[in-house]
A and B are shown apart, each in its own frame.
Chain A
Amino acid sequence: MLLKNIRDQFPALDQKVYGKPLVYLDNAATAQRPDSVVELQKRLSQSANANIHRAVHKLASDATEAYENAREYVRGYLNAQYASEIVFTSGATASINLVAQSFGEAFVCAGDEIIVSVAEHHSNIVPWQLLCQRKGAVLKVLDIEKNGVLSPESLEKLISERTKIVAICHISNVLGLVNPVRELVAVCHKHGVPVLVDGAQGIVHSKVDVQELGCDFYAFSGHKVYASTGTGVLYGKKDLLDAMPPFMGGGEMIKSVSFKSTTFADTPTKFEAGTQNFNAVPTLIPALEFAKSQETDPAIMEFVYSKLTEDERITLYGTGFENKIPLFSFAVKGAHHEDLALIMDKMGIALRSGQMCAEPLMDRLGVTGLLRASFAPYNTMDEAKYFIECLNKAIGMLI
């Protein structure tokens, strides 16, 4: 498809900020939504706004059908074995918290160990810290290698007989490098340890096949992959989900309620307490359809990568062209990331600056924060050139 036709599907891109055309390069935080997503949610909100799985009337049945179709679609997209392995949540954070709460309740005891990597988003650190505090368990940290990725060998050294779960990112939201998830999972499974993969960035930039990766849990958010915000997915292997207790009580997650004893619904319904985001969840279908069919122009990747690596004032974190997504976090000598972001904002460019919800990684890299530009398939080469031009101008203003 022509780039112009792609951009036409995203009306949000066609706006001015401070009188300058918007150049949206904060896609790793939230991606813009195509018309197909916006229209679907609008249509469902107008025609099928009824609580799912409960009433027998037509609207409820339409809403339920749209919601369950999305479950089946996501199952197919991830190549999960069963639709019941797909739990809908409000986002990757909620997915990970669900596992930390429920898996933790069932399987983690005092003195047990949980492994996370130093390159995790806070959402894949804090839920495990809270679990460790509750249970008296120990959080162990896997470092990144010199090349910025996680190594199965280093992971294996960290695993002990007390390790209960390993939680790692598919692609770091700072470094933008694809981790060797299949090999990391294999090492864990050799020792009988399940693995949760934070796929918030992974789902956007790679074909995810959970059976091929072998992971036990895969978590992602809808809003980073062009779907409506407030949607999210937790894939979990059926036997594990079946063995985990519900973590939130409420409507629809039960079989029968009495004051003597309440029995719970089966997987995945037992994890979907209360009214779900039923008109938004179906937008995962057009959103993932878009994600599957488009990729960022490789020429943009090459251009930005070379410009940022050849400039001596700039340090790019997460180098290595082969396994990198079009996401660039960098520091400029003598210029603060906040100043650069502030100036470039007024030039129309939306960037991310700061710690990017990865404070431990910033400490590890020895920086207080970075500037990040993350590209999507709707970004153009002209935008990439304008970004580099404005970056140079902003640096010139500051040093």
Chain B
Amino acid sequence: MTNMTLEEKKQQVIEDFSMYEEWLDKYEYLIELGKALEPFPEAEKTEDRLIQGCQSRVWLSSEIQDGKLYFKADSDAIITKGIISLLIDVYSGHTPAEIAADDFGFVAEIGLKDNLSPTRANGLVSMIDRIKEIARGE
């Protein structure tokens, strides 16, 4: 998805998700994404990279190359890992300004937020908030 615009990437995710009607199939897809995520260095699993508010542990790190943000992430729970993988795939390779200005509405469109229990939905919100904070340089 590297050469696509942010908008195109989001549309792609929405399309990918619309292929699955059953929730269990959506989970299977997220599990695959989670398993395929590039390994996260153990040494970088530090307290400051841990996202607060998730039931499982989620680490997120970022770096800027040529003015664009690139994210790396990991989680000890595989579905959560699939979700964060999806988020960082979409937002990696874009400028901080572009990410900070995004409304992250596509997450609601794929029904992820509504179908997670409140504690887990909070985890998703925490992940999004952290990506926004990084984009704003906080």
Q: Which residues of A contact B (CB under 8 A)?
A: 18, 335-339, 342-343, 345-347, 353-354, 368-369, 397-398
Contacts and interface: CB of A to CB of B under 8 A. Distances in A.
Contacts of B70: none
Interface string B19-49: 0000110011001000000000000000000
Contacts of A353: 55
Given A353-B55, A368-B57, A369-B55, A342 B27 contact: yes
Most buried by A among B24, B55, B120: B55
Contacts of A369: 55
A336 B23 contact: no
A367 to B, nearest CB: 11
Contact of B78 (A345, A346, A354, A398): A398
B117 A368 contact: no
A335 B76 CA distance: 9
B113 to A, nearest CB: 14
Given A336-B77, A337-B77, A346-B24, 9 more contacts: A339-B78, A342-B79, A342-B120, A343-B24, A353-B55, A368-B57, A368-B76, A397-B31, A398-B78
B127 to A, nearest CB: 14
B76 A336 contact: yes
B92 interface: no
A354 B119 CA distance: 11
A336 B56 contact: yes
A26 to B, nearest CB: 11
Contacts of B28: 397
B27 A354 contact: no
B80 interface: yes
A335 B24 CA distance: 16
A256 to B, nearest CB: 47
7 contacts: A336-B56, A338-B79, A339-B80, A343-B27, A354-B55, A368-B57, A397-B31
B55 A346 contact: no
Contacts of A342: 27, 79, 116, 120
B24 A336 contact: no
B25 to A, nearest CB: 10
Contacts of B117: 345
A338 B56 contact: yes
Interface in B67-91: 76-80
A338 B24 contact: no
A359 to B, nearest CB: 12
B55 to A, nearest CB: 5
A320 B80 CA distance: 34
A272 B57 CA distance: 42
A300 B119 CA distance: 30
A171 B122 CA distance: 31
Nearest to B116: A342
B56 A18 contact: no
A346 B76 contact: no
Contacts of A343: 24, 27, 79
A354 B55 CA distance: 7
Contacts of A368: 56-57, 76
B120 to A, nearest CB: 7
Contact of A398 (B24, B31, B56): B31
B56 to A, nearest CB: 5
Contact of A346 (B23, B57, B77, B80): B23
A339 B24 contact: no
Contacts of A347: 24
Contacts of A397: 24, 27-28, 31
B56 A346 contact: no
Contacts of B31: 339, 397-398
A338 B55 contact: yes
Nearest to B117: A345
B77 A339 contact: yes
Contacts of A398: 31, 78
- Please list the 5 inter-chain residue pairs (A to B) with the smallest Cβ-Cβ separation, ordered nearest first: A336-B77, A346-B23, A338-B77, A338-B56, A339-B79
A57 B56 CA distance: 55
A399 B80 CA distance: 15
Contacts of B24: 343, 346-347, 397
